[in-house]
Amino acid sequence: MLLIIAVFMIAGSASAFLNQTAVEVSESAVVYTPSSDPADAKFPEGAKIYKQKCFVCHQLSGEGVPGAFPPLKNADYLLADKKRAVEQVLNGSNEAMVVNGVTYTIPMPFQVDTHKEAVDVINYVLNAWGNDGGTITVEEVKDIKIVR
Ligand code: HEC
């Protein structure tokens, strides 16, 4: 594989080749699990984003990893402020936060690039795993500035 990449680099088409490889790898890494959670059918776009990006840290169960990645299932922090949650996935965060009484300090990188994707995935997590967090609209969050 290294040899193949080296050959392409010499041929000067490395970036096209590497880009293509990256896309293939990320697509084959997506884990789609059959789910009986009604939120998967109700918010399919958000469920898809969750299972591509968020589950790595917050887990498919939404329970996170205690002390490292906070829970989203039954999380007081998430359920307290829908708009703040949308901002969380648009811009990430780098500050200590207390979720269900436990302090989390690892930063979270931004996850999505559009207000629509952010709203889709937050509406999913607000209603997955038995959460009863309601929904939020793109209209309500359009003033959130995307910071990169
Ligand atoms: C690389 C690991 C990682 C990924 C991927 C990730 N998060 Fe996070 N998330 C964290 C960490 C760590 C925190 C705590 C951040 C802090 O303390 O600044 C956090 C905090 C949160 C919070 C606020 C705290 C809470 O539990 O209510 C929400 C909401 C959230 N993440 C949602 C998401 C969503 C939705 C996605 C996918 C679009 C996602 N995260 C992807 C690691 C991650």
State the CATH number of the domain containing residue 113. Answer: 1.10.760.10
Q: Which residues pair with 103 in a beta bridge?
A: 98
pLDDT surpassing 90 at residue 74: yes
**How many domains does the structure of the chain reveal?**
2
Task: Calculate the average pLDDT of the chain.
Answer: 86
User: Based on the domain organization, do 8 and 59 belong to the same domain?
Assistant: no
pLDDT surpassing 50 at residue 3: no
pLDDT surpassing 70 at residue 43: yes
User: Based on the domain organization, do 65 and 17 belong to the same domain?
Assistant: no
User: Based on the domain organization, do 119 and 52 belong to the same domain?
Assistant: yes
Taking the C-alpha atoms of residue 19 and residue 52, their distance in angstroms, rounded to an integer, is 18
Closest CA to 31 of 61, 52, 46, 58: 52
Taking the C-alpha atoms of residue 75 and residue 79, their distance in angstroms, rounded to an integer, is 6
Long-range contacts formed by 56-62: CB under 8 A, 24+ apart: 57/108, 60/31, 60/33, 61/129, 62/125, 62/128, 62/129, 62/131
**Residue 13: pLDDT band by 50, 70, 90 thresholds?**
very low
Taking the C-alpha atoms of residue 119 and residue 46, their distance in angstroms, rounded to an integer, is 8
pLDDT surpassing 80 at residue 82: yes
User: Based on the domain organization, do 82 and 117 belong to the same domain?
Assistant: yes
Closest CA to 78 of 38, 121, 41, 40: 121
User: Based on the domain organization, do 11 and 46 belong to the same domain?
Assistant: no
User: Based on the domain organization, do 61 and 21 belong to the same domain?
Assistant: no
Which residue range(s) make up the domain with 114?
A: 35-141
* Site residues for ligand 1, CB cut-off 6 Å: 49, 53-54, 56-58, 69-72, 75, 77-78, 85, 88-89, 93-97, 99, 104-108, 111, 121, 125
Of the chain, the percentage scoring pLDDT greater than 70 comes to: 76
Residue 33 CB partners (closer than 8 Å, separation 6+): 51, 60
- Residue 115 within any structural domain of the chain: yes
User: Based on the domain organization, do 60 and 95 belong to the same domain?
Assistant: yes
- Residue 94 within any structural domain of the chain: yes
- The predicted model scores a pTM of 0.83
- pLDDT (0 to 100) of residue 36: 86
- Residue 77 within any structural domain of the chain: yes
Mutate to test the pocket of ligand 1, among 52, 57, 113 (most ligand atoms within 8 A of CB): 57
Taking the C-alpha atoms of residue 104 and residue 58, their distance in angstroms, rounded to an integer, is 12
- Residue 146 within any structural domain of the chain: no
pLDDT surpassing 70 at residue 25: no
* Mean pLDDT computed over 74-79: 98
User: Based on the domain organization, do 111 and 137 belong to the same domain?
Assistant: yes
- pLDDT (0 to 100) of residue 29: 55
